[in-house]
Amino acid sequence: MNAPAFAPRLRPDEATIATVIAELNKRFGNRAVTSLAVRQQHANTLTWTENQPPDVVVYPQTTEEVQDVVRLCAAHKVPVVPFGTGTSFEGHTNAPYGGVSIDTSQMKRIVAVHPDDLDCVVEPGVTRKELNEHLRDLGLFFPIDPGADASLGGMVATRASGTNAVRYGTMKDNVLALTVVTPNGEVVKTARRAKKSSAGYDLTRLFVGSEGTLGVITDITLKLHGIPEAVSAGVCPFPSVEAACEAVIVTIQSGLPVARIELLDAAMVRGVNLHSKLGLPETPMLFLEFHGTESSVKEQAQRFGEIAVEYGGGPFEWATKTEDRNRLWQARHDVYWAAYALRPGAVSIATDVCVPISRLAECVEETRQDIEASGLIAPIVGHVGDGNFHVQPLIDPNDPEEVARCRAFVERLVERALAMEGTCTGEHGVGQRKMKYLEAEHGPAALELMRVLKRAIDPDNIMNPGKIVAL
Ligand SMILES: Cc1cc2nc3c(=O)[nH]c(=O)nc-3n(C[C@H](O)[C@H](O)[C@H](O)COP(=O)(O)OP(=O)(O)OC[C@H]3O[C@@H](n4cnc5c(N)ncnc54)[C@H](O)[C@@H]3O)c2cc1C
């Protein structure tokens, strides 16, 4: 199957951009902004990807306003780049062909919570922490927790996950339905609130992970979960990352229902100690959490303790108080920033491979040896219960030799994961920087099918052009 070739995407001419900006100013007043600082904040600001600002940023408040922006852009074939909180790592929000950034931060209504059905409907600008604040008194929570307090729209669009995914799944498992403004300005509802459905193609999951390339998400129906009766968290040191990974593999294979199981190598523990003052022994460490009843949590912890000892790990230390637990997980969520303490002034590079769980120890250990041989400062942290880990090289971007060394390391990391039947990205998404790996990961036929879909839904290539698939 071949997609008809797209005309090459070009930057609209200045007159077209000026017309679109004038129309947006008329319709949105001071909710259409062209200052350079604001435009730059809406392009990529993290890692080594350059900043490519849009021509204008607009702040709609309703689905109808999003429709108006998209229709205007469609009429002039001007790019549209949806924006949540801008915490994506791979140049997702860059505007390489200019155009209009649609910032959803003024679409923050929690439209409905249905405690009896364990679901809710939210607008895309609500962040994960804002939703959980709202839900807490109802005894409910939304488990997907990327390290940043990202928008739920951005999390849907990147198919995000986090530390709880080993127990609760990723965004792909927790979205029931979406409202989407498609590239021609139509409003599509992808599904209803039923927990399951066999009614036709699964449009919800087509848009989950589409990174703004197929439409703008304007409301989201999410699954919710009851706050567990008992929660306990702890840390467990290991003599090596390999031993820690072996313990994780056995934990998962034995069906122990861990809620969180996260690896930090010794370098990352050092960073966390410097940044969050945890005072942990600087050796590879697993951070764990168990959810259940008082007795089941105790039993799970005991069983994990036994597995840890088999691999030379322990002692397993528990944080029983809620404040201590929160401090531990906040420190875990802050590792990206903590790593900078290892090399102040460096630029941090995000990587995100994921392999089948049985290959985890091998993949992490080979990667560790590669880091050593490369002479890079590159701590490791991972959602290892899913086989997903991040190596975070800290480099001097002004040293071309070091940049080249780091690039070569990242290529080998991805090749290693793909050779182990894994993926170049477990949760961050493709954006601009991982496009080059998709053919090796999916093969030409699957990639062509993605192009066919993109072409059919967005024939003028206005939706976040230059991302996911090269056309
Ligand atoms: C410190 C730190 C830790 C992180 N930890 C994790 C982690 O553990 N797990 C993880 O998965 N990610 C993690 N991330 C990455 C990032 O937080 C996620 O990718 C997140 O889902 C991005 O959400 P956002 O609101 O910032 O989206 P943005 O960066 O604003 O946008 C991301 C993409 O989604 C599209 N988009 C945004 N809103 C919409 C919408 N309404 N409709 C259609 N498309 C839209 C954009 O066009 C873009 O392509 C981390 C990032 C940081 C900085």
Q: Is 427 in the pocket of ligand 1 (CB under 6 A)?
A: yes
- 155 in helix, strand or coil? helix
Residue 6 has pLDDT above 80, yes or no: no
Residue 3 has pLDDT above 60, yes or no: no
Tally of domains in the chain = 4
Under 8 Å between Cβ of 3 and 469: no
Average model confidence (pLDDT) across the chain:
96
Please give the average per-residue pLDDT across 52-67, as a whole number.
98
Is residue 219 domain-shared with residue 121, that is, in the same domain?
Answer: yes
Q: Which of 87, 105, 213 to mutate to test the pocket of ligand 1 (most atoms within 8 A of CB)?
A: 87
pLDDT at position 321 is 82
Is residue 95 within 8 A of residue 55, CB to CB? The reply is: yes
Amino acid at 315: P
- Same domain for 352 and 380: yes
Q: How far is the CA of 308 from the centre of ligand 1 (A)?
A: 34
Report CA torsion sign: 80, 150, 158, 361.
positive
Q: So what's the pLDDT on residue 455? A: 94
214: its two tokens: 């197929």
271 and 347, same domain (yes or no): no
CATH code of the domain containing 192: 3.30.465.10
pLDDT for position 2: 61
Residue 56 has pLDDT above 60, yes or no: yes
- Are the beta carbons of 76 and 41 closer than 8 angstroms? no
Confidence of residue 73 (pLDDT cuts 50, 70, 90): very high
In 205-361 the beta strands, taken as DSSP E runs, fall at: 216-223, 225-226, 230-237, 260-264, 285-292, 317-319, 347-348, 353-354
- Answer with the one of 300, 315, 337 that is the final residue of a domain: 337
Query: Domain containing 53: what range?
Result: 14-105+449-457
The finding on whether 54 has its CB within 6 A of some atom of ligand 1 is no
pLDDT at 408 over 70: yes
Chain-centre distance of CA 82, in angstroms?
15
3-state helix, strand, coil in the chain (%, to 5): 40, 20, 40
| DSSP of 87-98 | --SSSTT--TT-
Considering the domain architecture, whether residues 127 and 84 belong to the same structural domain is answered as no
For residue 303, give the CATH number of its domain: 3.30.70.3450
Q: Is 150 in the pocket of ligand 1 (CB under 6 A)?
A: yes
Length of the chain: 471
In a domain, residue 4? The reply is no
Tens-digit pLDDT profile for residues 383-405: 999 999 999 999 999 999 999 99
Model confidence pLDDT, tens digit, residues 98-110? 999 999 999 999 9
**Which H/E stretch holds residue 103?**
strand 100-103
240 and 331 co-located in one domain = yes
Residue with CA at minimum distance from ligand 1 atom 37: 154
Rounded distance, CA 143 to CA 173, Å?
11
Q: Quick one: 239 and 305 in the same domain?
A: yes
Instruction: Give the per-residue pLDDT at 10.
Output: 84
Whether 327 and 239 share a structural domain: yes
Residue 1 belongs to a domain: no
How many helices (H) does the chain have, and how many strands (E)? 17, 20
Of 437 and 318, the structure prediction assigns the larger pLDDT to: 437
- Domain final residue, candidates 210, 226, 242: 226
Evaluate whether residue 176 is within a structural domain.
yes
AA letter at 269 = V
Average pLDDT over residues 215-234: 96
CB neighbour burial string for 43-71, b if at least 16 within 10 angstroms, e if fewer: bbebbbbebbbbbbbbbbbebebbbbbbe
User: Token pair for residue 327?
Assistant: 């401090």
356 & 378 share domain:
yes
- Strand arrangement, sheet containing 260-264: 317-319, 230-237, 285-292, 260-264, 380-383, 388-391, 353-354
CATH number, domain with residue 372: 3.30.70.2740
Pocket test for ligand 1, best of 57, 61, 88 (most atoms within 8 A of CB): 88
Q: For the chain, give the longest Cα–Cα distance.
A: 69
Neighbour-count burial of 179, counting CB atoms closer than 10 A to its CB (0-12 exposed, 13-18 middle, 19+ buried):
buried
CA 361 to chain centre: 23
| pLDDT at 434 (0 to 100) | 97
Cα–Cα distances in Å, from 336 out to 83, 150, 229, 383, 395? 21, 14, 31, 13, 14
pLDDT of residue 118 exceeding 70, the answer is yes
pLDDT tens digit sequence for 273-331: 999 998 999 999 999 999 999 999 999 999 999 999 999 999 988 877 888 899 999 99
What mean pLDDT comes out for the span 29-57?
97
Q: Quote the CA–CA distance of 248 and 287 in Å, as a whole number.
A: 11
pLDDT, position 317: 84
Q: Percentage of the chain surpassing pLDDT 70?
A: 99
439 is a domain residue: no
341 pLDDT tier (thresholds 50, 70, 90):
very high
Q: Is residue 237 part of a domain?
A: yes
Which atom from ligand 1 is nearest to the alpha carbon of 427?
A: 11
pLDDT of residue 1: 61
pLDDT band at 9 (very low <50, low <70, confident <90, very high): confident
Does any ligand 1 atom lie closer than 6 A to the CB of residue 87?
A: yes
CA-107 nearest atom, ligand 1: 41
471 within domain boundaries = no
In a shared domain, residues 211 and 250: no
Which CATH number goes with the domain that contains 94?
3.30.43.10
Shared domain check, 348 and 309: no
Ligand 1 centroid–CA 453 distance in Å is 23
Burial class (CB within 10 angstroms; exposed 0-12, middle 13-18, buried 19+) of 388: buried
Across residues 326-349, what is the average pLDDT? Answer: 94
d(CA 251, CA 351): 25
Q: Is residue 217, in this structure, part of any structural domain at all?
A: yes
pLDDT classification of 471: cutoffs 50, 70, 90: confident
Whether 115 and 100 share a structural domain: no
Q: What is the pLDDT of residue 95?
A: 98
91 pLDDT exceeds 60? yes
| Percent of the chain scoring above 90 in pLDDT | 94
User: Is residue 7, in this structure, part of any structural domain at all?
Assistant: no
371 has a pLDDT exceeding 90: yes
Q: Give residue 148 CA to ligand 1 midpoint distance, Å.
A: 8
350/310 same-domain check: no
Tell me if 49 CB under 6 Å of ligand 1: no
Using the 3D structure, point to which of 191, 226, 261 is the last residue of a domain: 226
Q: How far is the CA of 155 from the centre of ligand 1 (A)?
A: 5
